[in-house]
Chains A and B, each alone.
Chain A
């Protein structure tokens, strides 16, 4: 891989007393990519991110960001990094505009152009008081805060939490535009569908250990789609053994097909029958773990 590395985490371990935050974690985030950091709640995503930003001390390991040491050169790294925490508070009783201008000034940036355009796109009223915001609006303030100073690296922890679906779509568009401008984005999420939508690469963490790092297409091929279908006419399992279908389960006249390839031709074949009911789903994160990684012993496997 010749791509430029922006974040390089080597053997990161963080212990909270006897409790493991993360253990021997290795992860690389490449320049110009959106890297999803996927895992259930409590897996160690936030711990990893906050170690990168030197908000917490490491127990062991090394983190290099922009070829600088995450803890020794923290201030220099933060000049080029935007951050949206998973949970954050705002300064109360000031206008959103003043709050954001203040944060801009701490980042040494004078231009409010991007702040204003982001607020417009996310439909956030900058004249509202910070303590009068709903959860969703507060999250928008956080998103704008992380993006407005136009930094090279943006680290986000559960960025869409509290956003309604329309706003989520707008947020994904914004992220793709940021990427087009050459930004590197490292984004923690517990939502596989979300990661699939915007990320180029995904790292999956569970119980403090990195399970897999994969390019998103590879992961999609592995995970595939789940098609649940009920037919009006009798259909045998053999009729559904099509190319691309990796697994078929039968349950009271309902068929559950796991499809990895040729989704279009499978759907076409299925539609030759009279369909009573049909749904197509992406694997949930938990299903993904159960299916592919539950018995995984070697966390290095699948490093793309």
Chain B
């Protein structure tokens, strides 16, 4: 019996799908750096808009704040929104009228943001002139980083979207886990559960292949597929970065280390997929549970960033142990985390083998 036969067959039958998915990965990972210069220019322009609004702070509490802005041609009226967050999601209307300067009493302690908008002649939607804040030297994006939903992606680190590092962190890594993770989850459940559902298991296990070997070979196939996906992403990302001459900011080594860290992360997902597949022996059930696992882990990690008291949630999330932003921002590859995820993947597979050996094969 030649070892690796099942692995080989799995790769061969899945080759077409893998090629298509690999191509997709290369396109999106190369595309991200390529659109960065355009994005940066648009963002810079938008940020400059913030300077179009001038805010004068009083020296003492109870003094007057003066807000003034450049008049716009065609403007019929102006509107000022006030909020304590830069995202303006809970904004109230502070002023509406024709003036280009307003004054009001500073009767609050915390910081405030003011968005000034102009209503133009002949249009109904107001346009943004700019945003001003009572906080000195505050970058609206740094403010954004403090939002726990975003902080998760950077491990709580401050990072600028005007740099290629920040852009790749947010626009690539924040969703890459979903693309690669769910693909691996789908594959690893279906390569096992479809053997049950399509009644291939009886013939398979009438050959001198033990259940342990069957599962290990399928797991090898999944690990190889995960590696191929990771390599495709590396090639795409490095190629895209080279194309915009950004490899001195975001090095090829960083590309390698951020993505290789994702390999054991994907192997854990594959192991969970296979475990649920041998446990429930149904593609749908296994897929549902494995997808739920991936999202649950993600939310645990996000909630763990909300407050100190919830931090324990992070430690039980696999997302904590693939800290790509540590490589990107601090130049630090966490070998311990890499090993931990790898060990976890194998522990899960051993549990999977144990479960598989106990269960009857359904007819």
Binding site for B on A (CB under 8 A): 46, 50, 53-57, 74-76, 78-79, 81-83, 85-94, 102-103, 105-108, 142, 145
Contact = CB atoms under 8 A, between A and B. Distances in A.
A22 to B, nearest CB: 14
Contacts of B9: 91, 102
Contacts, number: 77
Nearest to A157: B202
A75 B214 CA distance: 12
Nearest to A85: B202
B111 interface: no
The size bracket of the interface on B is 20 to 34
A106 B1 CA distance: 6
Nearest to A55: B361
A53 B2 contact: no
Contact of B208 (A91, A107, A145): A107
A131 to B, nearest CB: 11
A254 B207 CA distance: 54
A75 B360 contact: no
Q: Which A-B residue pairs are the 4 nearest by beta carbons?
A: A83-B206, A89-B198, A85-B202, A106-B207
Contact of A91 (B2, B13, B201, B206): B13
Contact of A106 (B6, B201, B360): B6
B332 interface: no
A72 B128 CA distance: 75
Contact of A105 (B5, B201, B202, B363): B5
Interface string B197-210: 01111111111111
Interface of B: 1-2, 5-6, 9, 13, 198-210, 358, 360-361, 363
Contacts of B360: 55-57
A145 B361 contact: no
Contacts of B199: 85, 87-89
Contacts of B206: 53, 55, 78, 81-83, 85
B80 to A, nearest CB: 64
Given A89-B199, A105-B5, A106-B5, A79 B208 contact: yes
A105 B217 CA distance: 15
Contacts of A53: 202, 205-206
A206 to B, nearest CB: 19
Contacts of B210: 74-75
Contact of A75 (B13, B198, B201, B208): B208
A142 B199 CA distance: 12
Contacts of B202: 50, 53, 55, 83, 85, 87-88
B208 A103 contact: no
B267 to A, nearest CB: 25
B180 to A, nearest CB: 25
Given A56-B360, A57-B360, A90 B200 contact: yes
Dominant SS at the B interface? loop
Given A50-B202, A87-B202, 7 more contacts: A53-B206, A76-B208, A79-B208, A86-B363, A89-B198, A91-B13, A106-B6
Contacts of A103: 203, 207
A66 B200 CA distance: 25
B289 to A, nearest CB: 23
A79 B210 CA distance: 11
A88 B203 contact: yes
Contacts of A74: 210
A102 B203 contact: no
Contacts of A55: 201-202, 205-206, 360-361
Contact of B363 (A50, A76, A91, A92): A50
Contacts of B198: 89, 92
Contacts of B205: 53-55, 78
A53 B205 CA distance: 8
Nearest to A71: B357
Contacts of A90: 200
B363 A145 contact: no
Contact of B203 (A83, A105, A108): A83
A146 to B, nearest CB: 8
A54 B209 CA distance: 12
18 contacts: A46-B363, A53-B205, A55-B361, A56-B360, A57-B360, A75-B208, A76-B208, A79-B208, A81-B206, A87-B199, A88-B200, A88-B203, A91-B9, A102-B9, A105-B1, A105-B5, A106-B1, A108-B208
A94 B1 CA distance: 21
Contacts of A85: 199, 202-203, 206
A91 B207 contact: no
Contacts of B358: 57
Nearest to A108: B1
